Amino acid sequence: MRCVIKGGLVAVSPEHILEVDIGVVNGVIYRISRNEDPQDYDQTIDAGHCWVLPGGIDAHVHLDWDFGDTVTTDDINTGTRAAAFGGTTTILNFIQPKPGESLRTLVDRWKDKGEMAWTNYGFHVIISQLYSLWMDELPLLPSMGIHSIKVFTAYPGKLMLSDADLFRIMRAASKSSILSMVHAENGPVIDVIAEESVLAGKIQPRYHGATRPSILEGEAVFRVGQIARLANAPAYMVHLSSLESVKALGYARQLGARLAAETCPQYLFLNDEVYQSDHFDVAQYVYTPPSRPHDDVRSLWDALRRGVIDIVSSDHCPFDFHGAKELGKMDFRLIPNGGPGIETRLPLMLTAVHKGQLTLGEAIAWTSTNASKQFGLFPKKGTLLPGSDADLVIVEQEPPLFTASARTLHQRIDYTPYEGWSLQGVPRDVMIGGQWVIQDHQLIASNSHGKFVG
Ligand code: DUC
Ligand code: ZN
Ligand code: ZN
């Protein structure tokens, strides 16, 4: 198909936002010019009074993930459909081997599931123990199109690695040019504090926030930074939520650690006031790390503006309030940790652009371009240069207000932390690999189009 998008304000890159037309041919950006001739194309799309942006890249999602006693509600089909409605055209999903499962079997299993993806997709492999089969297979991951693993310093007895094993695994990953992504919190100390809370009768979800202090996040960020230095490994710190972490990140980098970092909307748009009530509704905000006080929120925005953190991912990890979250009615530690956000990430950021909290260029950099560079997808993704994949979104510059609600969002979950919020910047049209998936806010494709990015 040959399609020309005319009259929009086009973010060719975060630094180059221009009034140009974009010609798309065979799934790729073919030409950018001030005056493309519609006669050269089969289809002309009017993007007057619209932004045309590179599709969002969400580097951190959990679709169909077994977490303790429950599984995330969105699978690769429903989750990527919701992502597309929210302007995200590529997702990177965490996949975890079953006990004893070979990494090759895991990746093959997920590539099969990928057939159901509406967006482009790639994977990070969770390594939860120093298991000899996985260590033997680690160097083979790049040949399977996998370039990143995820490790945890939280959840003792479940996902947490000892410092020794963290060192061994990061070192081995680095030798095979694999990036280690790290959930950095001091799990053992958190468990002590949380146990003391429950023994004192403080069992409500609000205590999830109080028992995961940011000191223990900053401590782990710094420790992981030092271990990474010794392992001669780069690391990517996921879901940073606090000033303690920003400071630790800076200090570890000063000492020579090669650390990249992301934060997420729940740390930029929500704060610890969500934990003020004793009501069980607070379970909606049980994700890890928790939302933090205002000063932390301010420090994260500041870190983004200074380039200390440069990616905003969703950490979409949806568990229904009814059923799943209710597992923790009598003990907040049993509430599955995670919340939804794959569909609201980009609209929240674009709403903040409208409010003057950030520039459009910053929004594009943080939600797309920087992730494409970090995960080896640039310049195919994250930009609209000639030769790039035609993954793009069209957003009205004066968009109709959209009221976020679990009833109208497409994420498969019974709540959103942003219920009732007015969003501007829900995309009008979404093109993935040169195919329109959404037009006029409606799903128009009859089947999925995503491709594996590896
Ligand atoms: N960390 C994540 O990255 N996602 C869900 C749960 C968690 O602790
Ligand atoms: Zn995590
Ligand atoms: Zn996560």
Which amino acid residue places its CA nearest to atom 7 of ligand 1? 288
| C-alpha torsion 403→408→412→414, nearest 10 | 70
Q: Are 437 and 118 in contact (CB under 8 A)?
A: yes
Which of 337, 342, 413 should be mutated for ligand 1, with most atoms under 8 A from CB? 337
- What is the rounded distance in angstroms from the CA atom of residue 194 to the CA atom of residue 252? 28
Ligand nearest to C-alpha 314: 3
Q: How far is the CA of 398 from the centre of ligand 2 (A)?
A: 36
185-209: per-residue pLDDT in tens?
999 999 999 999 999 999 999 999 9
Q: Are 274 and 289 in contact (CB under 8 A)?
A: no
- What is the rounded distance in angstroms from the CA atom of residue 172 to the CA atom of residue 134? 11
Within-domain flag for 235: yes
Q: How far is the CA of 258 from the centre of ligand 2 (A)?
A: 20
Within-domain flag for 412: no
Atom of ligand 1 at shortest range from CA of 238: 3
> Which domain, by its residues, includes 64?
55-366
Structure tokens at 430: 């979404």
Structure tokens at 375: 């995960």
* Residue 449: per-residue pLDDT: 83
Cα atoms found within 13 Å of the Cα of residue 211, Cβ hemisphere only = 26
Within-domain flag for 450: no
* Residue 69: per-residue pLDDT: 84
- What is the rounded distance in angstroms from the CA atom of residue 249 to the CA atom of residue 227? 13
* Residue 235: per-residue pLDDT: 98
Q: For ligand 2, a single-atom ion, which residues have Cβ within 5 Å?
A: 183
Q: Are 266 and 315 in contact (CB under 8 A)?
A: yes
Within-domain flag for 331: yes
* Residue 219: per-residue pLDDT: 98
Within-domain flag for 442: no
Residue ranges around ligand 1 (CB below 6 Å): 62, 183, 238-239, 288, 315, 317, 337-338
Atom of ligand 1 at shortest range from CA of 239: 3
Q: Which residue do the tokens 């370039």 mark?
A: 147
For β-strands 435-439 and 442-443, DSSP reports them as antiparallel
Q: Which residue do the tokens 């652009």 mark?
A: 353
Q: Are 364 and 53 in contact (CB under 8 A)?
A: yes
Q: Are 351 and 97 in contact (CB under 8 A)?
A: no
* Residue 448: per-residue pLDDT: 80
Within-domain flag for 27: no
* Residue 68: per-residue pLDDT: 82
Q: For the chain, what is the domain count?
A: 1
C-beta atoms surrounding 102 within 10 Å: 15
Q: How far is the CA of 73 from the centre of ligand 2 (A)?
A: 17
Atom of ligand 1 at shortest range from CA of 289: 8
Within 8 A by CB and 6+ apart from 120, the residues are 89, 90, 91, 381, 389, 391, 432, 433, 450, 451, 452, 453
Which of 263, 287, 313 should be mutated for ligand 1, with most atoms under 8 A from CB? 287
Within-domain flag for 228: yes
- What is the rounded distance in angstroms from the CA atom of residue 372 to the CA atom of residue 365? 9
Spans of the chain, pLDDT less than 70? none
Q: CATH number of the domain that 287 lies in?
A: 3.20.20.140
133-148: per-residue pLDDT in tens?
999 999 999 999 999 9
Question: What does 397-420 look like in DSSP terms, one character per residue?
Answer: SSPPPEE--TTTS-SSSS--TTTT
Within-domain flag for 433: no
